[in-house]
Structures are given as C-alpha cells and as structure tokens.
C-alpha cells in the first residue's frame, strides 16, 4: 500500500519481500508463497449450459503482501475468491484446479476441514457491511461467535477479544459499543466492525471483496488507511478485489486484471500503471475520468460488452472488442506470458512488443485508439458514423 | 498511511478539518445530516462564505435559478396524537443557477441533500420554502395542475436503469410514452418514426423497437432512459447518478453520450453524482454539497486547482488516483503549498 | 418501549370503544332487534312492555344507554340473552375456555409440524421429501375442515370409528379434569391444525429460502460456523418474522370464534358454536357480545405481534 511517509518508488517495494516488520514471518516457509492458486476453474450449471465464471486462473500471494484483483462485473473476480473459501460449493458447481494455502489444497478439503480454515486462517470482508452483518444480533455477539468457533475460550475471554479488536479498528468507546446492533453504526463504522470480526482470529490472509464500494469516498479513504495500518501491524496478506483502478493503485503491491473469467494481465502495481500491456487494461485506464489529468481529454469507452460465459470459445475473449486485433492476432487463446524484458509482467496477448509500446505511447498522450492503431500500422475498419 | 496520524500532505494547513469528525464519528444516524451542517471546526466557517459567492449568482442567461431552497422532514412525537417537535433539514438554504446550454454539477456524499434538491426541482417533492425559477417562472409553489406544461420541459434520468423501466413494456412504448401523453405523435407511424430517431440518437439499434428491457445490458438500458428523457426536447435534463450503477468501461459510453447530446441539442444539464472525477469531466461549473448546504461553488477547473473549502479539499484528497506515482506527487505538492 | 405499549393500549381502547359503539347501534336498528318485544311473549300489554323496557334501562336516553353498555362491556358484562334470559358472562367465559383449549393445542401442533416440514423442505429444496411435503400441503390446504373432521371421526372416534382410538364428538363437554379434556381434544386439534400446518410450512419454507440468500448468511459461513448454526441461529431468526405476523392474525380470529367449523363437527361448546346458535335464534344480545369478543381478541393479538417484533428485530424502534 502506498505510504506517503515513504516515497520509495514502487518497483523496489514490489521486489522487496514482505513489507511489514511483524508480518513477513507469520506462517511463512522458505520460498513457498502463502497462497498459490493453480489453474482454478469454476463453472455453474444453468438451464442454458455451464457458465464458466472462472476459466483457469493462477496467481500467488506472499505473506504480508497485497494482491489487487481488478475486473468488471462478471469477470470472475468475486467467484474465484469465494471459491477459495469454499463458499461456492454446491452440487451444480464444477470446481477444478488447485488452491494451495500453506501447501494444503483447499479444494480437496472436506467441508468440515475447510470450516476450520475459514474465518480462522483466511477471513473475508464484503461489499455491503450493512447486509453482511446480521441485523438481529449485537456486533459483539457476532464477533464472539467467530472467535469461539475456532478457539476454546470462554464467552468472557471472547468478549474481551471483541472489545480489543473494536478498539484496534478505531471504534470509539469499544467497551460500550460492543453491545450495539449493526443499524446503530454508520456505514464506515460497520465496515470497521466487519474488519474487526475478520481479523479477530489473526488470519494470515484477508480476502476483501469490494470492501469500499458501498461507502462514501471520504469514508473509503479511512477504511483503506485502516486496512493498510492493520496489514503493517498484523502482517496479514490481503487479496483486494475491486472494480476501481484507483483503489488498487493505492493499496496493492501486485495487480491481476481479470476479463471474462481469466487473468489478462498481471504485474506489480508500478509496472501495470506505467506500462500497461493489454488492450483491455488500456481500455479501462482510458475510460475512467481522472482528477490528475486535464479535463478536456476525452474518455474512450470500451465498445461492446463482455462475452457470454456459456460456451466461451477457446480464443481471446477480448478480440471482439479490441481495436487493435486486425492484422496481428492469431486465432486461439493466448497464454499468460512474461513480457519481453519484464518476466514478472505477464500479459495474455500476442501483440508484438514494439507495436504495444507504440500504441500505449499514443494512448498515454491522450490519443484515440484509432490514432494509436494507425500509428502502429494496424488497418482500421471503415468508421460507421 | 496510518489513520491514527494525520495525513502529512494536508496536516500543514491549520484549516484542514479532520475528516473523521463530521463523517466517521460515533454518531448513530449518519444519514441524517441535520441541524445546519456543522463542517469541521468553527474557524473554517468564514472561508466558506466567499467560496460560495466566488461565482456570482444570477449572472448570464439562466434556465434555472434556485434560491434559498429548503426541505425539512418533520420529526414527530406524542402519545395518542403526534405533533411535530423538530425537523431534519435535508436541504438547508441552497442557491445556484443553471445557465442555458451548460452542464452544472452537484456533487456530494450520501445524505448531503443533492438528490432531494433534484427531486424538488422536478417537483417530485414539495419544497418547504425557497424559490425555483425555471425559465422565468417560480415553480416552487405551483399546484399539480399548474405544473403540467412545465413537466414537459424538465426531464430526469435515474440511477438504476433497470428499476426505472417497466419490464413488460417494449422499448418502443417506453420511449414513445411521453410523446403519447403530450400528444406529440399523430398515429402509430409517426410515433414509431420519432422513437426510432431517438433510439438512433442515443446509440440504440432502431430495429430493437419491439424488445423488452431485460433483453438489454445495463448501459443500453440507461440509453433507453436517456432517450425517454429527451423525447420531449426538454429545456432542462436532470441526471441523478446516471452512471453509478454501471461498470467502469460502460460509464464512459454514457458520459460521452450525455456530453454529445448536450452539445448537439443544446441541452441544459443538471448533473448529480457522488464521484468528483465524473462530475469534473462532465460539468462546466459545479457545487459541492455537504449536510444540506452548498459549501463551494466554482468552475470545475478552479474547484480542482484551488479548492477553498476544507470539505472540498478532503473530498479531493480522498479520491483514489489510478496512478501510484501521481498520488505521491500530489501529496507532496499539496504539503508544500499548504505550509 | 413502555411508552409505546401505553400508546398502543390507548389506541386499542379507542378502537374497541368505536367498535362497541358501532356494534351497539347496528344491532339496535336491526328489524328483529327490539329486546323488549323479544321478552314480552305473545301479544303483550303496553304496561308489560313498559315495565320490561324500564327494567332493561331502555327508557333512558340513547347516550346513557350507550354509556352503560360500554361500561358493562368493559367488565365483560353483556347483560342477558334475549332468548333464554341467561346471564351472558358465564356463558361467554365457559365458551372462551373451550375455544382457548382448542386453539392453543392446535397452534402447538401446527407450529411443530410446520417447523419440521418447512425446514426440511427449505434445506432440501427440490428433493423428493420437499416435493412430497409441498404436494401434501396443497392437499391439506384444500381439504375442508368439516370433511376432514368427519373423516377423522369416522376413522378414529371411539363411538363410530373404524379404529376406536380417540374420544368422539361431544366428549369434551362431558370430560372431567385436564387430562381427560386434552384427550378429548386430540382429534379436534389435529383436524384444526391440518390446513394451518400446511400454510405455515409453506410460509416457513419460502421465508427460510429467502433468508438463506442474505449476505449475512455468507458472512456466517465465512466465519467458519457449522451449517447447523448458520441455519438455526442466523437464517431461522429472520425467517420467523412473517410467521409471527400470520400467527397473530390467525390466533386472534380463531379464539374470537373462527374455529366454528371444528367446534361444530366435534360438538365443542366454544365461542364459534355460541355465536352460531345465537345467530340461528336471533339472539341479538349474544351476537353482539360474541362480535365484541372477536374484535377484542383481534386487537389484542395485533398488539402482541407488534411487541414480539421488537423482541425479534432490534431495528424495530418504539418511541
């Protein structure tokens, strides 16, 4: 996460192992990452056929670090993370691949075994803190319940832990507020409660699924700062799932961009924003209004819409919307490969590197995709007025 | 950065409010910014007054002039019969103008009163007091019947494109409904022709005239909502969070569409959103609302370059930037500028 | 909270006074409504009519009569039957006792049945047990109570039944002691509860299915709670709210006299029977009294439901 006290350029931070003094060692074994996802596929049975929500993704998360997963709705970013927790298990769901958490495969665990991991070693917070907390129970009781599900402690000890956690996340007067109900808190305070609940058992990994999307922007800032502080104090690794490129830019060490159930680009936060390499990432970056750019730079929407996830062909899912596909694309699904000269920057696109550089140069200077394509020598279809 | 220590970028300024004081404190009901909107500490109050006055009101050719608009929701109490004991001031004396052909923005966080203001201007809500001069007529006090001609001139685009469309009506009849109500299309042929023109204008395939809303994606549904709203060539279009329910890459399609329509049709647009960067992109001038009041009103360039109200600064600071380096730069600049 | 209860009680009193007054006038203007003539026998003299009128207080001005009526009604004193001249209060209280017996037992039966069937159906949605239970529920809802009652008597009653297991019709009136009475009520309980069990099982199933979709259920699972705890502590607490609403209305109506079919089939001297007989005989005073009873119980159960809401859902705020 960005730290204004420490303006170290991002690449150095990205290569450093373990940003936190306390965290790096928690459950960390030499060389092995905390979480390793290998070729995860998740399909849901439906009347129209199998919906391939996640079509084979792989990534790793090191202890104490933050991976940002960015994507739009339907990209599979939430489904993949819920699957790690076993929350998508059902008779009609088809789950394949491996999810190694400290070397143990979460996908092959029985539900009972997995239950011991959930909320204990891996915790999760969600988008809407109001609907995610049970409206009928005191927040203290909801935290206590989670503590006692995994620890053999008395109710009193668990309550003391709840008060401690509420204090840690910045709830004023936690000794009294522990007995309050969710509706008695503001949105930001509720998300703090969710964070306190998630971190109560000292998890090694926190999955945050759009944790600030339902919040006001000033509250979002506070929550992101809180998560950053807690990460440094407790050494928790975070998977930050969001649609907001700004949020990942401010929080993540590494970023995976997802589209139609697959990762299309993966890089350190600095590389991704300074040298984005996938046409979809370009599209995202050019389609959001930004406060740090002049007002008159026209937004460039990504035309069209994401493909249906039923019967997805084994081919580049973005080709239909890609303005640069003509003349340089080969049929078939491109692999997620390291870019030339930057093996840690992976991209699922077969475009030649020099062409990629030319296009991004034009786009970064405010040019349109058409201008960029022309400069890169890509034939453009006749513009339909 | 730690939330325990103040942001080093802004801590240099003595006027900087602690954003946690009004926003994240231990208050129970956050959604009721009652009692006149106390912003930060009282010392900043004098800087806020010139901020609102910086852009003089009533200058130029205005399609809409809002003066001292208020909306109070009563709080009642009583054993058998309820009597009013207090009121929540949702909108507390708001004044601004929308010039002919411009896009004016209202930006603020949830519960700041921006949507209540919009609904009063449409007269979906009755104002408690104040003036709404629309094209020379004060419509704040008009009766339902007197409002009929005015309804045609002000149209609204809503946040959720799905729930604002009747799922059993075809697109053709949804977009054509305003034409029917105001008797603007004679016969089915003319109606269809007009509707298909509108569909083409907002980027929908006119051949989809007979489809139902569920056959369209979120972005296309919002296009339908826009086509319906501009069917009567309104003098003022009010867009209340028109893109906040849409995916990132779709948002730009709708924003650009609204910009193009505004330019091509000479629409006056009142654009309401919580997202500062979206409002900045869309609007020539904008007003920042907080707790029922306008705390700053300026051109978009000026507001971003020189935010004078501490709340505006807090808001600008809080917007995450999709550039890890720019953020560090920005914080550094702000830090030196404030000292 | 106390304030809220007081306010609700005050409103309940106002409602009841209005209902009582309306009932009073309604029955006064009915063609057969003159209580004096009803008592005076055939071809009475004018003096006799006047004497009766005076003894019933009917020569007083209307507002005084209404006042007396309200005052007496507040003490559950509804005067005497126009037909038998019996005092109505003990009659009503006896009938209320029998009806309460019937309804309370039936409520316990149908809630237990609905809890089991509804929960299993919801958790195994689409399975064979679910489809069988929901199909059976449809049958139970469609079966008329009197038909079901007669079938039950034909099968199980000790006098006329094929399998002489349970006491037959009319046995409640002659039963002594709590155990005997309960035994006599077994068949009526199940007959009355049958349709309600089905309705409540379906209600519970759908509201449980709905609450299992809530975000907080996902949170509960993400905390690592056992599925049993997720269902019985998190999902079911929110799922019972609609059942409480329905229960309030049903119990109020049943105690107020809507159990009339079951009471008739099994010859139970309850409120439903009492009002049915009164209507048959044109006994206006008794009809009036039973109508007020019904109104009273519906009002009270509505109040109880509202208070229960506050116990279930802390968001319900009473000022």
User: Can you give the pLDDT at residue B57?
Assistant: 46
**Chain A nearest-CA residue for C211:** A134
Residues A351-373, mean pLDDT to the nearest whole number: 88
Give C222's contacts in chain A (Cβ within 8 Å). 85, 87, 118-119, 123-124
Q: Give the tokens for residue A167.
A: 């204090």
Has residue A23 got a pLDDT over 60? no
Q: Model confidence over A206-240: pLDDT tens digits?
A: 999 999 988 899 999 999 999 999 999 999 999 99
Cβ(B318)–Cβ(A217) below 8 Å: yes
**Residues sharing a CB contact under 8 Å with residue B145, sequence separation 6 or more, in sequence order:** none
Question: Which residues make Cβ contacts (< 8 Å) with residue C158, sequence separation at least 6?
Answer: C164, C165, C166, C167, C168, C171
Q: What is the mean pLDDT of residues A333-344?
A: 84
Per-residue pLDDT of chain B (339 residues; tens, 9 = 90+): 333 333 333 333 333 333 333 333 333 333 333 333 333 333 333 333 434 444 444 456 899 999 999 999 888 777 667 777 788 889 999 999 999 999 999 999 988 999 999 999 999 999 999 999 998 889 988 888 888 888 889 999 988 777 778 888 999 989 998 888 888 877 888 889 999 999 999 989 999 999 998 888 888 899 999 999 999 889 999 999 999 888 888 899 999 999 999 989 889 999 999 999 999 999 989 999 999 999 999 999 899 889 999 999 999 989 888 887 765 665 566 554 443
A10 CB near a chain B CB, below 8 Å?
A: yes
A165 in C contact zone (CB under 8 Å): no
Interface of C with A in 231-270 (CB under 8 A): 234, 237-238
* Nearest alpha carbon to residue A42 among A261, A264, A257: A261
Q: What is the mean pLDDT of residues C154-158?
A: 84
pLDDT of residue C66: 80
A87 CB neighbours in chain C (<8 A) are 218, 221-222
Q: Which of A176, A301, A322, A368 to mutate to test the interface with B (most CBs of B within 10 A)?
A: A301
Q: Under an 8 A CB cutoff, do B79 and C319 touch?
A: no
Using CA atoms, how far apart are residues B20 and C187, in angstroms rounded to an integer?
66
Question: What is the count of residue pairs from B and C with beta carbons less than 8 Å apart?
Answer: 9
> Would the pLDDT of A129 be above 80?
yes
Q: List the single residue in B277, B320, B322 with the smallest CB-CB distance to A285.
A: B322
Instruction: Compute the distance between CA of residue C187 and CA of residue C170 in angstroms, rounded to an integer.
Output: 12
Residues in chain A: 385
| Domains along chain B with CATH numbers | 22-44+61-170+219-334 (3.40.50.300)
Which pair of tokens denotes residue B6?
């103040």
Q: Which pLDDT tens digit goes with each residue over A48-71?
A: 889 999 999 999 999 999 999 999
**Concatenated DSSP letters for B191-241?**
HHHHHHHHHHHTT--GGGGG--GGGS-HHHHHHHHHHHHHTT--SEEEEES
Residue A12 pLDDT: 35
Which residues of chain B have a CB within 8 Å of the CB of C15? Answer: none
Task: Identify the chains in contact with A, defined as 3+ C-beta pairs within 8 A.
Answer: B, C
| Residue in A with minimal Cα distance to C219 | A132
Parallel, antiparallel, or unpaired: how do β-strands A342-347 and A262-268 relate?
antiparallel
Strand A262-268 to A254-259 pairing: antiparallel
- Check CB contact of A98 with chain C, cutoff 8 Å: no
Contact residues on chain B for C11, CB-CB shorter than 8 A? 80
d(CA B154, CA A58): 52
Which chains sit next to B, with 3 or more Cβ pairs under 8 A?
A: A, C
Q: Check whether A25 has a pLDDT greater than 90.
A: no
Residue C192 confidence (pLDDT) above 50 = yes
Mean pLDDT taken over chain C:
85
User: Residue B320 and residue A224: Cβ atoms within 8 Å?
Assistant: yes
The SS3 assignment for A246 reads helix
Neighbour subunits, C (≥3 Cβ pairs < 8 A): A, B
- pLDDT score of A11 more than 50: no
Chain A residues with CB inside 8 Å of B326's CB? 292
Contact C223 A146 (CB under 8 A): yes
pLDDT confidence tier of residue A36, bands split at 50, 70 and 90:
very high
Instruction: Please tell me the predicted confidence (pLDDT) of residue C30.
Output: 65
Residue A10 has pLDDT above 70, yes or no: no
- For A290, the 3-state DSSP assignment is coil
- CB-nearest partner of A87 from C221, C237, C315: C221
- Partner-chain contact B328 A184, CB within 8 Å: no
Q: Distance between alpha carbon B14 and the CA centroid of its chain, in Å? A: 31
Nearest-angstrom CA–CA distance, B19 and A218? 7
Supply the pLDDT for residue C68.
82
Among candidates C218, C224, C312 on the partner chain, residue whose Cβ is nearest the Cβ of A120: C224
Complete domains list, chain A, with CATH? 53-257 (3.40.50.300), 324-385 (no CATH)
For residue A325, pLDDT over 60 is answered with yes
How many CA atoms does the CB half-sphere of A274 hold within 13 Å?
12
| Chain A residues within 8 A of C314 when measuring between CB atoms | 135-136, 181, 183
**Which pLDDT band holds residue C319 (cuts at 50, 70, 90)?**
low
Three state DSSP letters for A151-171: CCCCHHHHHHHHHHHHHHCCC
What's the confidence (pLDDT) of residue C91? 87
8 Å CB contact of A295 and B1? no
Q: Stretch C253-282: mean pLDDT, rounded?
A: 86
Share of chain B above pLDDT 90, in %: 41
> Is B253 at the interface with chain A, CB within 8 A?
yes
Q: Write out chain B residues lying below 8 Å of A10, CB-based.
A: 324-325
Copy the structure tokens of residue A80: 């993949």
Question: Is C226–A115 a contact, with Cβ atoms under 8 angstroms apart?
Answer: yes
Residue from B216, B242, B247 to probe the interface with A (highest A Cβ count within 10 Å): B247
| Cα(A366)–Cα(A372) distance, integer angstroms | 10
**Res. C35 pLDDT band, cuts 50 70 90:** low
Distance from A196 to chain B by nearest Cα, in Å?
15
Query: Model ipTM?
Result: 0.84
Look at C7 and B79 and tell me if their CB atoms are within 8 Å.
yes
Q: Report whether pLDDT(A29) > 80.
A: no
Q: pLDDT tens digits for B141-179?
A: 888 888 888 888 999 998 877 777 888 899 998 999 888
What's the average model confidence in pLDDT over C57-86? 78
């Amino acid at each position: 996460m960005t730290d204004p006290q420490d303006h170290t350029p991002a690449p150095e931070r990205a290569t450093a192992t373990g940003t936190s003094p306390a965290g790096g060692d928690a459950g960390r074994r030499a060389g092995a990452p905390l979480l390793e996802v290998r070729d995860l596929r998740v399909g849901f049975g439906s009347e129209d056929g199998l919906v391939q929500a996640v079509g084979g993704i792989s990534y790793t998360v090191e202890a104490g670090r933050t991976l940002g997963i960015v994507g739009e709705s339907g990209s599979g970013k939430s489904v993949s993370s819920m699957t790690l927790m076993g929350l998508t298990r059902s008779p009609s769901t088809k789950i394949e691949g491996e999810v190694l958490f400290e070397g143990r495969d979460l996908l092959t665990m029985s539900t009972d075994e997995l239950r011991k991991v959930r909320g204990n070693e891996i915790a999760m917070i969600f988008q809407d803190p109001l609907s995610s907390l049970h409206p009928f129970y005191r927040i203290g009781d909801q935290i206590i319940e989670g503590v006692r599900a995994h620890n053999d402690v008395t109710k009193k000890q668990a309550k003391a832990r709840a008060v401690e956690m509420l204090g840690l996340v910045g709830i004023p007067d936690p000794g009294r507020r522990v007995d309050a109900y969710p509706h008695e808190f503001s949105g930001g305070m509720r998300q703090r409660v969710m964070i306190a609940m998630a971190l109560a058992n000292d998890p090694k990994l926190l999955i945050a699924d759009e944790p600030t999307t339902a919040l006001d922007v000033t509250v979002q800032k506070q929550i992101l700062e809180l998560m950053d502080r807690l990460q440094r104090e407790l050494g928790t690794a975070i998977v930050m799932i969001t649609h907001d490129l700004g949020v990942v830019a401010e929080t993540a060490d590494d970023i995976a961009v997802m589209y139609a159930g697959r990762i299309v680009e993966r890089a350190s936060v600095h590389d991704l924003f300074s040298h984005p390499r996938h046409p979809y990432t370009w599209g995202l970056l050019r389609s959001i209004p930004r406060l740090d750019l002049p007002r008159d730079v026209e937004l460039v929407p990504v035309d069209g819409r994401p493909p249906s996830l039923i019967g997805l062909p084994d081919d580049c899912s973005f080709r239909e919307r890609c303005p640069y596909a003509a003349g340089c694309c080969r049929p078939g699904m491109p692999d997620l490969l390291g870019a030339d000269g930057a093996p840690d920057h992976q991209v699922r696109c077969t475009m030649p590197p020099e062409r990629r550089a030319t296009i991004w140069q034009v786009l970064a200077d405010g040019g349109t995709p058409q201008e960029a394509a022309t400069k890169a020598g890509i034939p453009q279809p006749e513009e339909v007025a | 950065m730690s939330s325990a220590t103040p942001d080093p970028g802004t801590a240099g300024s003595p006027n900087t409010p602690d954003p946690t004081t009004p926003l994240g404190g231990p208050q129970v009901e956050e959604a009721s910014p009652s009692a006149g909107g106390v912003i930060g500490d009282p010392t900043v109050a004098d800087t806020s007054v010139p901020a609102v006055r910086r852009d003089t009101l009533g200058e130029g050719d205005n399609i809409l002039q809002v003066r001292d608009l208020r909306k109070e929701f009563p709080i009642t109490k009583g054993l058998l019969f309820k009597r009013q004991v207090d009121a929540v001031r949702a909108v507390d004396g708001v004044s601004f103008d929308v010039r002919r052909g411009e896009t004016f923005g209202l930006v603020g966080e949830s519960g700041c009163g921006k949507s209540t203001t919009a609904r009063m201007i449409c007269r979906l809500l009755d104002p408690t007091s104040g003036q709404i001069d629309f094209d020379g007529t004060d419509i704040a006090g008009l009766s339902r019947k007197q409002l009929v001609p005015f309804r045609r001139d002000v149209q609204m685009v809503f946040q959720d494109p799905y729930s604002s469309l009747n799922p059993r009506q075809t697109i053709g009849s949804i977009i054509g409904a305003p034409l029917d109500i105001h008797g603007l299309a004679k016969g089915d042929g003319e109606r269809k022709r007009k509707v298909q023109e509108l569909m083409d204008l907002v980027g929908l395939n006119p051949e989809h005239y007979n489809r139902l809303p569920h056959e369209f994606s979120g972005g296309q549904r919002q296009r339908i909502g826009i086509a319906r709203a501009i069917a009567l060539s309104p003098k003022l279009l009010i867009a209340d969070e028109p893109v906040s329910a849409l995916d990132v890459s779709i948002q730009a399609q709708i924003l650009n569409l609204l910009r193009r329509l505004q330019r091509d049709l000479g629409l006056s647009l009142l654009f309401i959103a919580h997202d500062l960067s979206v409002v900045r992109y869309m609007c020539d001038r904008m007003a920042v609302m907080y707790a029922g009041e306008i705390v700053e009103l300026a051109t978009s360039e000026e507001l971003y370059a020189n935010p004078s109200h501490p709340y505006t600064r807090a808001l600008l600071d809080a917007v995450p930037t999709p550039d890890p380096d720019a953020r560090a730069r920005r914080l550094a600049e702000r830090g030196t500028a404030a000292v | 909270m106390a304030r809220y209860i007081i306010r609700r009680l005050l409103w309940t009193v106002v409602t009841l006074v209005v209902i009582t007054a309306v009932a009073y006038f309604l029955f006064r203007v009915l063609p057969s409504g003159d209580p004096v003539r009803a008592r005076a026998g055939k071809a009475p003299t004018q003096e006799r009519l006047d004497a009766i009128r005076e003894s019933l207080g009917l020569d007083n001005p209307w507002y005084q009569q209404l006042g007396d009526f309200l005052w007496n009604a507040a003490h559950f004193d509804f005067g005497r039957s126009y037909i038998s001249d019996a005092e109505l209060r003990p009659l009503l209280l006896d009938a209320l006792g029998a009806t309460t017996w019937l309804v309370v037992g039936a409520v316990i039966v149908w809630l237990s049945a609905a809890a089991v069937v509804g929960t299993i159906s919801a958790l195994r949605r689409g399975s064979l047990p679910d489809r069988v239970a929901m199909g059976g529920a449809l049958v139970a809802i469609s079966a008329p109570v009197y038909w079901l009652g007669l079938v039950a008597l034909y099968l199980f009653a000790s006098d006329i039944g094929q399998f002489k297991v349970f006491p037959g019709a009319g046995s409640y009136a002659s039963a002594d002691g709590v155990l005997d009475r309960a035994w006599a009520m077994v068949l009526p309980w199940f007959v009355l509860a049958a349709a309600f069990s089905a309705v409540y099982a379906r209600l519970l199933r759908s509201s449980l299915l709905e609450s299992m979709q809530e975000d907080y259920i996902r949170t509960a699972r993400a905390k690592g709670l056992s599925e049993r705890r997720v269902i019985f502590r998190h999902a079911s607490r929110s799922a019972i709210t609609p059942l409480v609403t329905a229960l309030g209305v049903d119990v109020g109506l049943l105690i107020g006299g809507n159990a009339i079919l079951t009471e008739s089939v099994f010859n139970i001297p309850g409120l439903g029977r009492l009002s049915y007989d009164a209507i048959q005989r044109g006994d206006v005073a008794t009809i009036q009294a039973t109508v007020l009873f019904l109104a009273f119980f519906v009002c009270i159960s509505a109040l109880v439901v509202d208070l229960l809401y506050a116990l279930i859902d802390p968001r319900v705020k009473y000022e």
